[in-house]
Structures are given as structure tokens and as C-alpha cells.
Chain A
């Protein structure tokens, strides 16, 4: 390319009127040119050589090597049908266990309620118990007196029958 063409392209470049193709032509010219340049063309040489060098970007590394890419759908897991019965059996067992537990809990609650409702006032309960035991004791003593009388009568009967 003639130097005059380069001068014209540079003028357009600095004025931001150059096309992408013209700018690429400048990069290629400066990157490939060897030897001395006219003084007015030297000014832009480092810039276009820099742009040319910058086009060498390191090779693109592989992405998502450390984590899965979000758009990678997980593969669908197809299980044989016979594997599903365990799921339902487990559900039935859990349900049965829950029912049994609830039933046991209810029975326990009702037993506790039966014992708890026998008295409301401990002092009154004590007095009532004392009265009941005194009545029982009195009746037992009465029964003992009657048994002693029967004992005397039995002894007398044996004497009369001549066992002596």
C-alpha cells in the first residue's frame, strides 16, 4: 500500500471516519512493515502495532470445569417399576406407626384422667379415708367379739357331750 493511502487512512482514523476494514488495513500495514517509515507515519506505528499484538488473546479455557453449567439439565433417572413398591411400603409403615402412636397416647391420657379425678381437696380426702378406716376397724372389732362368743359356745358344747 502506498504511503499516501496510509496517510489518507490515518487522517480518517484520527477523525473517527474510517471503516472497520480501513482500520484493519492500518493494523496489517504497521504490523507487517519493516524498515524506516516516513516521519509523519511513525507517530501511529506503536499504537497499531499494539493493537495488532493485542489481537493475540490466550486460548479460551474450557468453561465450567469447577461447577456444572446451569443450562446442563440433569439426566432423567429412570427407575424400574419394582423399585417403587418400597416407597409405598415405607409410607404405609409410617402411617401405621403414627396411628398406633396416636392411639396409645389417647389411652394413656384417659388413664391419667381417671386417677386424677378421685379427689379435689387432699384434706377432705384424708378425713374421708380416716372415717372409712375407722368404720372398718369398728366392724372388725364387733365381728371379733362375736367370734369369741362362738368360741365359748363351742367349748361348752364339747364339755356337755362328754368328751372330758
Chain B
């Protein structure tokens, strides 16, 4: 049922993923597990370029038919790009949460924050525990 969570990135307990580009920037999105829970994503509110964010602050909003959910920033930083394709095609998050469904690119201010996040197997263990 679930896709494999890629090992090239880190995960939050709020079901976001973050990929380190190695140049001080990261790309973020929501996990396959999160899109599955939301099911039909019909609207994405993207952040404005230049928006300053901190961990656990909403950086974007995704809406399904039934629900409204915040996407939290995994790190402290500044939004430098947002996936404009999601405005017309929010379903990209359902179809390809780890690829074409990326949400924003951030410039990190405190790269060490990445170390506190989960790796793929840690995230899977976390989901398994959450379901019990």
C-alpha cells in the first residue's frame, strides 16, 4: 500500500520530509503516509518567497475535501522557492509526494537542526508506534 520512504532525506514527527541539498538549502514536502491520510488534496496554500519560518511554524497549508492541515517547517530559515505547479495541480502531492509534489525550498539558518530529525527507518518506526 505505502510507497517506500526514500533514505536520501530526513523526516519529522509531523509527517514532513526534508532533503538537504548540501548548499545550505533544503526542499520540503509531506510524506506518503500524510498524503494517504489526507487522500484527495484539492488545495495548497503556498508560502510567499522571503517568508521567515521556524520549526513547528506553518509554512504551507494543504486541504483535502474534508480537512485543512498545516505543513510545518522542519527548520529555521527563509522560503526561497515554492512549487507553483501545486496551485493548478494539488493532486501532485497525492501522486508523487517525494518528487513532483515537493512544496517549498528553504535557505537554512541553523543547519544543525537537521540532525534532530528522523531517518527513514526511524520515521517508519514512529508511524508504526503511532498506529498502536
Tell whether A pairs with B.
Answer: no
